[in-house]
A and B are shown apart, each in its own frame.
Chain A
């Protein structure tokens, strides 16, 4: 522990003693918690100082081939080229202001996050700098910085937020999906394999809780024996003998489950996109204090943590399900918008055709 930490601890101990003028007994756990929170603060301070020094050093010694500058937006420290600083700051400021509630609620946990951001023209030089300083690198390659660049920035905020969640949540979620197109989510659920997934699609809450993997990666819950056997027959016929050996009993035995997970590599019925959509659905409706608890509680199971933050998990599943099923049907092109737009463009083309007064001979 550094001298700085000792100083902070001493300060925190001294102040109550001076003000209270009575003996206060400190619980060991409480003291440890306070030290932990101060350590986190110290780490953030050290990180910020390091960033400041590395930027200054890079500029001074021309470590980076382009002059760098920093900006602070919300909890984020951004390093980018001096020329693009304004663009980058504006992008992140807009993304931060429009970020979902669960991202904003993670502000305290996100404090100290540093991104090295490169817009199209300076990607190479800045990427080198980020690698050398071991900082997170965010290239934005879209030319329309103000609109198309929003996607990678929004995604970066989501990713950063997820990084503050406990390990089991991150493992359950997998990769943070880039888009949450409602139509695609609905489609993914409708064609998810297995009878259990179909029951979830039909609206059965318990089936959805199972299929979402909130109770763990349980193959025997997701798929029936016949379904797994069919999968082996179609996609891994060479493992058929081994499968019969491991899963001759019902497939909820440990041996069978291990076989399915490791050798068969059968995917869960729904992937990261569906899981993430449920997670965002629940977290966006939670209070900031609940979100903090969700992020910091490492003892409860995932299902329990979800219940704690959602209040009524069944109701949350029902509302999530109905939102997804009611997602607008995009395969229907006959929306008024598309039809009218096509008609207008048809008339525009007609106008050009009739204006073709260069309609003379010679």
Chain B
């Protein structure tokens, strides 16, 4: 069952994932090559120049990880949504088992862009002469990418597993919470001098800071570091 589910997920997700895999391979390669071009010519502060050149690329990687995870999650559900889930519902296994099979099989696909990042990082850092004190971390970098992509995959998968109505309700609820929460908190803070948080700040703290689900997106995304 798992093998066939993996085959199904592969068939449906391989083309949507392909551009992200190519970018995942090329981005670290490009970043390292461009950073190397800085340091080759720099005598005075090569380490600083290298880190500065790499820093420009750091926001792209967590964003790419999210996109890879989301693309995988949406793809694996695409055919079921198109066929209105009739086939899936008439298979002789409980719904939760079917969902777990799909989740696990799709999670294996998320490894592909992570391996692409690893390959790009390894190739990119292989010919690089690093200044003293700096080291390349292609494996740990790729692992961070994998964790980030997996979290995005799981979150979007859970959302896409529901009906369109559920997804719309969740997203609409979020938007309404932000809008009315902002208005309400602002009004209460101004009139009653409370110290209520703005919804955006609440969400940011809950999601992005430890131990929130997306805390892996924060922190250091440098391929080369001390």
The interface of chain A, by Cβ under 8 A from chain B, is: 81, 83-84, 87, 119-122, 143-145, 183, 186-187, 189-194, 198, 201-202, 226-227, 230-231, 234, 329-334, 338-339, 341-342, 345-346, 348-350, 352-361
* Most chain B CB within a 10 A radius of its CB, from A145, A191, A192: A191
Do residues B154 and A350 form an inter-chain contact, with CB atoms below 8 A? yes
Tell whether, in the assembled complex, residue A353 and residue B158 are in contact, meaning their CB atoms are under 8 Å apart: yes
A144–B205 CA distance with the chains assembled, in angstroms:
10
Given contacts A331-B222, A354-B96, A357-B95, contact A120 B48 (CB under 8 A): no
Contact A338 B216, beta carbon cutoff 8 Å? yes
Say whether B47 contacts A190, CB under 8 Å.
Answer: yes
Which one of A144, A227, A350 lies within 8 Å of B43 (CB-CB)?
A: A227
Q: Which residue of B lies closest to A354 (CB)?
A: B96
Scan B158-172; emit 1 where CB is below 8 A from any A CB, else 0. Answer: 100111011000000
Whether B95 and A359, one on each chain, are in contact in the complex, defined by CB atoms closer than 8 angstroms, is yes
Quick one: which of B132, B154, B157 has the most chain A CB within 10 A?
B154
Given contacts A120-B189, A191-B131, A341-B211, 5 further A-B contacts (CB under 8 A): A143-B196, A144-B201, A345-B151, A346-B151, A356-B166
Does B44 contact A234, Cβ atoms closer than 8 Å? yes
CB contacts (< 8 Å) of B162 on chain A: these are: 356, 358
Is the pair B48, A330 in contact by a Cβ cutoff of 8 Å?
no
Are B147 and A234 interface neighbours, CB within 8 A? no
Contact B137 A331 (CB under 8 A): yes
Kindly list chain A residues whose C-beta atoms are within 8 Å of the C-beta of B92: none
Chain B residues with a Cβ under 8 A of chain A: 42-45, 47-48, 50-51, 84-86, 89, 95-96, 99-100, 103, 107, 131-134, 137, 140-141, 143-144, 147, 150-151, 154-155, 157-158, 161-163, 165-166, 189-190, 193, 195-198, 201, 205, 210-211, 213, 215-216, 219-220, 222, 225-226
Is the Cβ of A198 less than 8 Å from the Cβ of B99?
no
Q: How far is the CA of A342 from the CA of B155 in the complex (A)?
A: 11
What is the distance, in angstroms, from A318's C-beta to the closest C-beta of chain B? 18
* Closest chain B residue, CB of each to CB of A144: B197
Q: Which of A198, A231, A333 contacts B219 (CB 8 A)?
A: A333
Q: Which residues of B contact A333 (CB under 8 A)?
A: 140, 143-144, 147, 216, 219
> Chain B residue with minimal CB distance to A81?
B193
A121-B162 Cα distance, complex, nearest whole Å: 41
Q: Is the CB of A119 within 8 A of B195?
A: yes
Residue from B132, B195, B213 having most chain A Cβ neighbours under 10 A:
B195
State the CA gap A349–B165 with chains docked (Å).
Answer: 18
A338 touches B190 (CB 8 A): no
Partner of B158, one of A234, A350, A361: A350
For the complex, give the distance between the alpha carbons of A201 and B197 in Å. 43
Which B residues are CB-close (under 8 A) to A349?
151, 154-155, 157-158, 213
Decide: B219 and A187 in contact? CB cutoff 8 A.
no
Are the CB atoms of B137 and A332 closer together than 8 Å? yes
Complex Cα–Cα for A346 and B73 (A): 13
Report the minimum CB–CB distance from A205 to chain B (whole Å): 17
Decide: A192 near B140, CB < 8 A? Known: A121-B189, A349-B158, A361-B85.
no
Query: Are B211 and A145 interface neighbours, CB within 8 A?
Result: no
Kindly state the separation between the CA atoms of A121 and B196 in the bound complex, as whole angstroms.
Answer: 10
Q: How far is the CA of A96 from the CA of B72 in the complex (A)?
A: 51
Residues of chain B within 8 A of A227, CB atoms compared:
43-44
A residues within 8 A CB of B226?
A: 183, 186-187, 190-191, 329, 331
Cα–Cα distance between A143 and B222 once the two chains are bound (Å): 31
Contact status A353-B43, CB under 8 Å: no
Whether the Cβ atoms of B51 and A338 lie closer than 8 Å is no
Query: CB within 8 A of A346: which of B134, B154, B210?
Result: B154
Give Cα A355 to B96, complex, Å.
Answer: 7
List, in ascending order, chain A residues with CB within 8 A of B137's CB.
331-332
Report which of A122, A145, A358 forms a contact with B193, defined as CB distance below 8 A: A122
